Amino acid sequence: MKILWIFWVTCVANGEEYFVCGILTILGSWSPLWMTSRLSIGHFIIKKLYSSPSGKNLSDKTEEIEITKQVVGSGLYTRDETGESVNIYPILTSSSIRLIWDSLFAKTFEDDAPDVSNYANAMFAISYYHTRRVFKPWLRPDVVFNLTEGSKLAQEGIQFLNDFARKSVNERRKDWQKKKGLFLKSNFIESDSNEENGKDEDWACYVDFLFEQQEKGLLTEKDVQEEFSVFTVGGYETTSMVLTNTLFLLGTYPEQQAKVVAELDDVFGKGFDANSFKVTMGQVKQLKHLDFCVKEVLRLYPPVPVSPKKNNEDIQLDDGRVIPAGVQLYVSMYCIHRDPKYFPDPEAFIPERFSPDSKHYREKGSYAFIPFSVLPRSCPGQNYGVVNIKVFLAYLLKAYEWTTVTPRDKLKMSYQYTNHPKTQF
């Protein structure tokens, strides 16, 4: 069996393929399908996000960069006047899903849309019950697991995610074909150069770009649906957790929150319009302390705390022992990020440790800080995701002052592919 086991049980349980496989489980970092998937995501991000280095409003290129009251949702605003405490994780999960879908297939959802909550609940059931099999060996055989209630709930979740991916891709394809038909009839494709100039503007969303790759024979219909699920799950789960943990820690350490707010006031001014908050790439780059805070959150609470790997050759350790080729390894980013050799006082929240002259982060050139993994199998959307997170945090920190109800020593996390909170934030 060549595919990592932890993903294998998810992908083929009960014979139902799980569309979130895709780039996550392709064997070999240089296989043609893996390279196509990796380059597709990277090329789209470069074209759609980083094509405005002069500081042009990013909402002109990707609508999700414009954070509005509608994107944040009513979960926070309904409690604004009463001042009551609120568990922000489910609210930010909903916001992150809608944020991702807006960029993924150019469709806007209300915060109370059933598809949003159903998607989050389905993914929770899948991740919860399948990761239980990692820690409970007697559940690993399918013949045993399939007799449990957890297997039934996970299968229902898989079915929902698969059906939603099919439906969403097919709906978007109709819009894309209609738009493409109108484009072909226009006068702007009289020459090859004009046609080439029009293609980039035709990518209203990531799925449109995938359709173009499919037409070229680089992707199949199944590949497109898999990429849809990979982009959704990989995007919203990590985004919502980083947002939640950042607000939690800034609420726990008000002196750090004050530094971020002062920086935001310097960059955006003291005024704030809750209905529309637009950010340019130039402004994002000015948010130095916010960047330090996000990195420190990623160090303390990496969204994916463990990364499964399989080595292709023998590995010689410093003490003389050898890890033979073909062994399945688990790289714990959570533990590496707490190694005092690299991070003195590792449990402390010290965003300044990521400043260039800091003494709280040693050997910066090493692989001591790897929240998105490293090398070929690192997250292809990490830069895109971090920009979204910073813009979202800028909005939330301009809109509210955050205080924490749950003490940090009472915070408990649960591993379900990604870290999930067991206690309310």
d(CA 280, CA 56): 6
Q: How many CB atoms lie within 10 A of CB 134?
A: 15
Q: Is 165 helix (H, G, I), strand (E, B) or coil?
A: helix
d(CA 71, CA 62): 14
Give burial (CB, 10 Å; 0-12/13-18/19+) of 3.
Answer: middle
d(CA 253, CA 247): 10
Contacts of 152 (CB under 8 A, 6+ apart): none
* Secondary structure letter of residue 304 according to DSSP: S
Measured CA distances, 235 to 164, 230, 242, 274, 315 (Å): 16, 8, 11, 24, 33
Taking a C-beta distance cutoff of 8 angstroms, is the pair 365, 356 a contact? no
Taking a C-beta distance cutoff of 8 angstroms, is the pair 417, 267 a contact? no
The annotation status of 379 as a binding-site residue, yes or no, is yes
d(CA 365, CA 347): 21
Binding residue positions for heme: 379
Binding residue positions: 379
